C-alpha cells in the first residue's frame, strides 16, 4: 500500500473535495516530518544532559502527537487544528527561549516561531494568519525587552549554542522552503483552475452559439424554402406553406425568448405571476396538449395523479416551461415504443412532488452533476448528435427555484431517467380557474406533428427516395420539393430508417444527422457495411455546418453533404446526379457477367462476384434458380431482386439467364458442339426457348452468331 493511499484512507471523509484532501494530506505530512525531526533532536539533547532543551522537545512531541491523534479521529476542520497546534508551539518556544537566557543563547529557536508564521500563510482565512503573526511579534518583543532580566546561567555552552543554531537553522529553513513551495503550488493550481474555468466558459459560449445556430438552421430552411415556393407559384398550397412559415417563425421566437429569460434570471429581474389553481387539472391539460407530438414519435405518454385535485400557488407560464422542457427532454432520449410518465402527488410536508420518468437511454453518471448547468448537454461536446441549445434544463432549475422549490435527477444508463420537481404548497395568490393562452408551444408541436399524405400512384417509374428526418415541418417541405421527381418514402428516426432501407432497398437516401436513437452517422455506417444496402447513395441534409462534421460524414461513407438552409435547386441537382451516376454504374456492373474473378474492394463488386462465383459452379444445373441462389447468398428473394436491379438494372431471373447466355455464347464461338448440346450444358432444358432468349439478348440466333465468327463478319 503506497503512502498516498494510506494518507487518503487516514484523513478522507465522504464528500471531501480534491483541495480539501490535499490540504489534509499536507498537514499530516508536515506533522509527521516535524515529529521525526523533533524526536531525534530531543534524544540528542537528552544524551547531552540539556534538561531545558529536552523538556522543550518533549513539549513539541506531545503537542504534535496529540494534534495528529485527534485529527485522525475527527478528519475535519484542518485549519483549526493548524491554528491551535501552531499557537501552542509559539508559546512553548517563547517560554524555552526565556528559560535559556534569551534569543542569543537559545540555539536558534527563534526560527521555530518564524516557521510558524510562514506556515500560517496556508490558512484559508487571513484572520488566523494575522493572529499568529501578532502572537509571534508580541513574544519576540517580550523576549527582547526583558532580555536584561533573563537568567545568566546559560544551559548551552557557546559551542553547543553554535551547533544547535546551525542545526535548527538548516532544518527549519528546509521546512519553511517546503511550505513556501506548497503555498506557491497551491496558488499555481488556483490560477490554473481559474484559467481552466475561463476556458470552460469560453467553450460553453462557443457550444451555445453552435447549438443556437443548429436550432436556427432548421426553421430557417423551411422559411426560406417556402418563401421561394410561394414566389414561384403563389396560388399552390398557399395556406399550408404560410402555416409552415408561421410555425417556424414561432420556433425561432421561442428560442430567442428562452435566451432572454435566461438573461433575466441571471440579472434577478424575472417576475413571478403566481395564481392559485388546481395544478392536477393544469398538468392533465398540459399532458394532453403534448399527446400529438408523442404519438408522432410513437412514444406512450402517461399521466398519473395520486390526488383528484391539488389547489396551490404556481406560475402557469413557468410551470408550462418546466414540465414542457422535461417532457420534450424525456421524448428526445426515448426510442419508439417507449414510455414517459408524468406524475404528481402531495407529501406530508406540504410539498407538491412532480416527477417525469422515461424508459429511454438514461444519463451517464458523470453527467448528472452538471445536467442543470447553463448551455450543458449530456453529449457535452460540439459533435453531439442530439438537437438542443443546452438551456432547457437550466431554465427548469431556475424557474423551480424562483417558485421556492428544487429539482433533482437520478438515472442509470440504459434504464431511463427520472426528474423530480419539488414545490412548496401555499394558498395566498389570487384564484384563477381558466387559462385562455394555454400551452402555445405544445399546440405548435401538435400542429407540426403530422406528416401530410401524398400520393404515390403513377410514380412507379420514378426513382425511389427514402427521407429520414425527425422534424415533421422539414418533411412537409421536402415532400413538396421532391414528390414530383421521386417516389418518396418517409422514416422519422434512424431505427425506422435502417428498417425501411433494408426492407425496400431505395435508389437514394436523404437523411438528417441529429436524430433521436441512432443518428445519421451510425445509420450511414450500418447501411454502407451491409451488402444489401451498400450500393445506395446517402445524402446528409443537416444543420451541422462545421468542417469537422462534413469530414466525419464523408468518412462514414456519405455520398454528399448539404447544409440547412439549403437551396432547392442544389438539392435536386445533387440527387439527380447521384441517380445518373448510379445508372452508369449499373451498365458497368452488367459487363461483369462472366468476367474472370479478381480481387476487389468495392462492396457492390464483391456482391456481384459472389453471385457470379455461385453461378459459375452451378450454371449447368437447370434446377439452380432464384431460390437456390437466395439460399446460398443468405438473402431474401425480394432483397436479391431489389439489390440486383439497383446494381445492374436486371431482376434476379434475368441476371441468371444473362450469365448462362454469356457462357453459351462462349461455347458457340469456341467449340463445335450443337446448339442443343450447348443449351443443355448451360442450364436450359428447352433448346427452342434457349434460341428464343438468345436472340433477344444478342440480336442474333445462336446459328447466326456461330456463322458470323466463322466468316469473320
pLDDT recorded at residue 420: 93
pLDDT recorded at residue 425: 92
Give me 649's grid cell: 438494372
**Number of Cβ atoms within 10 Å of the Cβ of 511:** 26
pLDDT recorded at residue 666: 85
pLDDT recorded at residue 694: 86
pLDDT recorded at residue 343: 93
pLDDT recorded at residue 381: 43
pLDDT recorded at residue 466: 94
Q: Residue 277's beta-bridge partner residues?
A: 312
Check if the beta carbon of residue 542 is closer than 8 Å to that of residue 469: no
Q: Find all residues with CB under 8 Å of 112, minimum gap 6, and list them.
A: 89, 93, 168, 172
Peptide bond into 234 cis (omega under 30): no
Alpha helix segments (H runs only) across 75-157 = 78-100, 110-119, 126-145
The list of the chain residues with pLDDT below 70 reads 1-2, 15, 77-78, 119-125, 204, 207-208, 210-211, 374-390, 433-460, 588-601, 709-713
What is the DSSP-derived secondary structure letter of residue 524? Answer: H
Closest CA to 456 of 447, 445, 443, 466: 466
Calpha distance 191→195 (Å, rounded): 6
Q: Where do we find the cell 401530410?
A: 452
Specify burial of residue 29 (Cβ count, 10 A radius: 0-12, 13-18, 19+): middle
pLDDT per residue over 139-169, tens digit each?
888 888 888 888 777 888 888 888 888 888 8
Counting other chains too, the contacts that 23-31 makes at CB distance below 8 Å and 24 or more residues apart are 23/78, 23/122, 24/75, 24/78, 26/122, 26/182, 27/71, 27/78, 27/81, 27/82, 28/68, 28/71, 30/119, 30/175, 30/178, 30/179, 31/64, 31/67, 31/68, 31/71, 31/85
Calpha distance 482→21 (Å, rounded): 63
Distance linking the first and last C-alpha atoms of the chain = 93
pLDDT recorded at residue 419: 93
pLDDT recorded at residue 304: 92
Calpha distance 211→195 (Å, rounded): 24
What is the DSSP-derived secondary structure letter of residue 597? Answer: P
Check if the beta carbon of residue 296 is closer than 8 Å to that of residue 469: no
Amino acid at each position: 500500500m503506497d503512502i498516498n493511499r494510506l494518507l487518503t484512507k487516514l484523513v478522507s471523509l465522504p464528500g471531501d473535495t480534491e483541495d480539501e484532501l490535499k490540504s489534509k494530506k499536507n498537514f499530516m505530512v508536515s506533522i509527521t516530518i516535524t515529529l521525526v525531526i523533533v524526536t531525534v533532536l530531543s534524544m540528542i539533547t537528552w544524551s547531552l544532559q540539556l534538561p531545558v532543551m529536552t523538556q522543550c522537545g518533549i513539549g513539541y512531541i506531545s503537542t504534535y502527537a496529540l494534534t495528529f491523534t485527534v485529527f485522525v479521529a475527527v478528519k475535519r476542520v484542518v485549519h483549526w487544528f493548524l491554528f491551535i497546534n501552531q499557537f501552542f508551539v509559539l508559546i512553548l518556544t517563547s517560554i524555552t527561549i526565556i528559560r535559556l537566557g534569551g534569543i542569543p543563547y537559545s540555539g536558534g529557536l527563534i526560527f521555530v516561531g518564524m516557521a510558524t508564521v510562514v506556515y500560517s500563510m496556508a490558512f484559508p482565512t487571513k484572520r488566523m494568519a494575522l493572529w499568529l503573526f501578532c502572537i509571534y511579534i508580541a513574544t519576540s518583543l517580550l523576549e527582547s525587552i526583558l532580555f536584561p532580566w533573563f537568567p545568566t546561567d546559560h544551559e548551552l555552552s557557546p559551542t553547543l549554542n553554535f551547533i544547535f543554531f546551525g542545526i535548527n537553522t538548516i532544518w527549519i529553513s528546509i521546512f519553511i522552503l517546503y511550505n513556501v513551495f506548497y503555498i506557491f503550488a497551491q496558488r499555481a493550481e488556483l490560477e490554473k483552475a481559474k484559467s481552466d474555468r475561463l476556458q470552460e466558459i469560453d467553450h460553453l459560449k462557443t457550444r451555445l452559439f453552435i447549438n443556437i445556430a443548429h436550432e436556427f438552421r432548421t426553421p430557417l430552411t423551411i422559411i426560406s424554402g417556402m418563401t421561394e415556393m410561394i414566389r414561384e407559384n403563389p396560388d399552390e398550397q398557399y395556406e399550408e406553406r404560410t402555416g409552415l412559415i408561421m410555425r417556424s417563425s414561432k420556433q425561432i421566437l421561442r428560442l430567442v425568448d428562452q435566451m432572454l429569460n435566461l438573461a433575466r434570471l441571471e440579472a434577478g429581474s424575472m417576475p413571478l405571476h403566481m395564481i392559485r389553481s388546481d395544478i392536477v387539472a393544469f398538468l392533465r391539460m398540459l399532458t394532453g396538449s403534448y399527446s400529438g407530438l408523442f404519438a408522432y414519435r410513437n412514444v406512450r405518454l402517461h399521466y398519473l395523479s395520486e390526488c383528484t385535485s391539488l389547489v396551490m400557488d404556481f406560475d402557469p407560464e413557468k410551470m408550462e416551461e418546466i414540465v414542457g422542457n422535461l417532457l420534450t427532454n424525456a421524448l428526445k432520449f426515448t426510442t419508439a415504443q417507449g414510455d414517459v410518465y408524468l406524475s404528481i402527488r402531495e407529501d406530508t410536508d406540504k410539498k407538491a412532488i412532480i416527477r417525469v420518468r422515461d424508459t429511454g437511454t438514461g444519463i451517464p453518471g458523470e453527467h448528472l452533476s452538471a445536467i442543470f448547468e447553463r448551455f450543458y448537454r449530456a453529449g457535452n461536446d460540439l459533435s453531439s448528435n442530439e438537437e438542443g441549445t443546452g438551456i432547457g434544463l437550466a431554465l427548469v432549475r431556475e424557474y423551480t427555484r424562483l417558485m421556492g422549490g428544487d429539482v433533482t435527477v437520478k438515472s442509470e444508463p440504459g434504464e431511463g431517467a427520472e426528474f423530480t420537481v419539488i414545490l412548496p404548497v401555499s394558498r395566498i395568490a389570487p384564484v384563477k380557474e381558466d387559462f385562455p393562452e394555454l400551452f402555445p408551444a405544445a399546440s405548435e408541436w401538435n400542429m407540426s406533428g403530422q406528416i401530410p399524405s401524398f400520393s404515390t400512384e403513377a410514380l412507379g417509374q420514378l426513382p425511389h427516395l427514402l427521407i429520414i428526418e425527425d422534424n415533421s415541418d422539414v418533411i412537409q417541405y421536402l415532400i413538396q420539393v421532391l414528390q414530383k421527381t421521386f417516389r418518396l418514402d418517409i422514416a422519422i428516426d434512424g431505427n425506422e430508417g435502417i428498417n425501411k432501407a433494408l426492407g425496400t432497398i431505395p435508389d437514394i437516401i436523404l437523411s438528417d444527422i441529429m436524430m433521436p436513437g441512432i443518428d445519421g452517422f451510425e445509420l450511414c455506417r450500418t447501411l454502407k457495411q451491409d451488402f444489401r444496402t451498400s450500393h445506395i447513395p446517402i445524402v446528409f441534409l443537416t444543420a451541422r455546418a462545421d468542417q469537422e462534421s462534413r469530414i466525419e460524414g464523408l468518412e462514414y461513407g456519405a455520398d454528399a453533404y448539404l447544409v440547412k438552409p439549403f437551396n432547392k435547386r442544389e438539392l435536386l441537382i445533387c440527387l439527380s446526379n447521384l441517380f445518373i451516376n448510379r445508372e452508369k454504374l449499373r451498365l458497368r456492373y452488367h459487363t461483369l457477367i462472366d468476367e474472370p474473378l479478381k480481387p476487389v474492394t468495392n462492396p457492390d463488386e464483391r456482391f456481384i462476384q459472389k453471385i457470379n462465383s455461385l453461378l459459375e459452379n452451378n450454371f449447368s444445373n437447370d434446377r439452380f434458380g432464384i431460390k437456390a441462389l437466395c439460399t446460398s447468398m443468405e438473402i431474401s428473394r425480394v432483397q436479391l431482386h431489389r439489390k440486383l436491379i439497383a446494381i445492374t438494372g436486371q431482376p434476379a431471373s434475368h441476371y441468371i439467364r444473362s450469365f448462362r447466355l454469356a457462357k453459351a455464347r462462349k461455347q458457340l464461338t469456341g467449340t463445335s458442339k450443337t446448339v442443343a448440346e450447348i443449351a443443355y450444358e448451360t442450364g436450359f432444358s428447352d433448346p427452342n426457348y434457349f434460341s428464343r432468349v438468345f436472340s433477344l439478348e444478342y440480336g442474333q440466333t445462336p446459328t447466326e452468331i456461330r456463322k458470323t465468327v466463322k466468316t469473320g463478319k
